[in-house]
Amino acid sequence: RSSFPFIPINCGAVPKDLFESELFGYDKGAFTGALDRGKIGKVEAADKGTLFLDEIGELSSSAQVKILRVLEEKEYYKIGGLEKKKADIRVIAATNKNLESEVGKGNFREDLYFRLNVVKLHIPPLRERTEDILPLLRFFMDRYNEQFKKGFFRVSEEAEGILLSHPWLGNVRELRNAVERIVLLE
């Protein structure tokens, strides 16, 4: 599937009332304010590729049911649509929540948890893998040098020590933002 689309959707950022239209799209005239031509959803956009469900632990229970149906039946309907569509996608889900615990509390569907939990990868926080900090620093520095037309190529040993001892509670996002800030302001 690597040569087909990789479509991310941040489950925590999409309002509950819009999630279904973002996921499945809608047909022309499906509701007041709908685009005349309808809208393609993330599942259709990811056809033959990968749908990345970021922050899946934030999904409402009604949205969890809809995701489960796509995973189980490999089909869906656009909002307002009568034609059954096939979902030929690989799904990758990510969360910073402990979904087993969320299942126990009744916040996450057990059947969806087991359907998603085929291959589980635990990525430790950045503070537990300090060997990744400097390579990531160089990666982001190259990216922001190019983006902002800057010329930073190294960091002092003192700065490296500060970066390596920082707790990085915001993980890679915090490091990325720090490097962007450094490249912009220094």
pLDDT band at residue 186 using 50, 70 and 90 as cut-offs: confident
Q: What are the structure tokens assigned to 55, written together? A: 């922050």
Nearest Cα to Cα of residue 112 among 74, 176, 56:
56
Residue 130 DSSP class? G
Name the 3-class secondary structure at 159.
helix
pTM of the model: 0.78
Per residue in 95-109, pLDDT (tens digit) is 989 999 999 999 999
Phi then psi for residue 48, to 5 deg, are: 70, 0
pLDDT band at residue 57 using 50, 70 and 90 as cut-offs: very high
Q: What are the structure tokens assigned to 17, written together? A: 């009332």
Place of tokens 């005349």: 36
pLDDT higher than 70, residue 33: no
